[in-house]
Structure 1
Amino acid sequence: MSEFTIRTRKFKQNPLLGRKQFVLDIIHPGMANVSKKDLSEKLRSMYKVHDVQCIQLFGFKTAFGGGRSTGFGLIYENLDKMKKFEPKYRLKR
């Protein structure tokens, strides 16, 4: 497995919904794409999240030619807030 780099843009604290929200830029040369499981593990270590289930990743688009992707990420404070505010279809995924 090749290495990949994560950069966060437009990082915003949202205390009303109990989450951090941001845009992810992933650089993954030599790979077609990066799995959400690998991304959430790396985000867990970056932001010191206690539970991987509190991280929601969605909306990823791979740039033409590969090697670079962008998407959205949400890190909730706890599972209760995530279940309260996340859409049901995203919770099923």
Structure 2
Amino acid sequence: MDIKIIKEKNNALLNRRELNLDIGFDGATPSRSELKAKVAAMLNVAQELVIIQKMEKQFGKQAVSAYVKIYENADRMKQVEAKYVIERNAMPEPEVEEEAEEAAEEEGAAEETEAEEAPAE
């Protein structure tokens, strides 16, 4: 993924930086979370403070135009941004851990039923 900063503006009133980006990519269009991680790493900021406001795929090209906001702190972000925008940009929870916990619970339940069904000696 190749990211170019087209325009950068410092918005002191809202304690954020606003960026217009052009992103070139190979294969499938990058997800919001992939783009968020890449921008955060590139600009050395926390992923939680990056908001991807808009992503527009360019017709016939392997490119996306994006409008990104980077806040100085999470409190200001919660004051300024709409709730749905914050939810849209929330980092997905790891599903692997949940599946492992469910499997462990099922195994524990199976062992308990086997112990109950075993005849007492």
TM-score strictly above 0.5: yes
Q: CA deviation at 1:77?
A: 0.4
Cα deviation for residue 12 of structure 1 reads 0.4
Question: Is the 8 Å Cα contact of residues 32 and 66 (structure 1) preserved in structure 2?
Answer: no
Letter in 1 for 2:29: N
Structure with greater contact order relative to length (CA < 8 Å, sep ≥ 6): 1
Moved over 4 A (4+): none
> Cα offset for 1:87?
1.4
- Looking at structure 2, the residues matched to 43 and 69 of structure 1 have their Cα atoms a distance apart, in angstroms, of 14
Q: Whose helix fraction is larger, Structure 1's or Structure 2's?
A: 2
Q: Shift in Å at residue 32 of structure 1?
A: 2.6
Q: TM-score, normalised by structure 2?
A: 0.68
- Return 5+ residue gaps in structure 1 as ranges: none
Looking at structure 2, the residues matched to 63 and 32 of structure 1 have their Cα atoms a distance apart, in angstroms, of: 13
Identity %: 33
Counting only pairs closer than 5 Å after superposition, residues 21-60 of structure 1 correspond to structure 2 as: 21-29=18-26, 31-49=27-45, 51-60=46-55
CA distance in 2, matches of 1:12, 1:68: 22
Q: 62, 69, 83: which one pairs with 1:67?
A: 62
Select 2:75's aligned residue among 62, 75, 80. 80
TM-score by length of 1: 0.86
1:16 match? 13
The aligned length equals 88
Report the AA paired with residue 35 of structure 1: S
Structure richer in strand, relative to its length: 1
The letter for the 2-side match of 1:90 is V
Structure 2: which 5+ residue stretches go unaligned?
89-121
Contact 1:58 1:73 (8 Å CA) reproduced: yes
Q: Who wins on radius of gyration, i.e. which is larger?
A: 2
**Within 2, Cα distance between the matches of 1:15 and 1:38?**
27
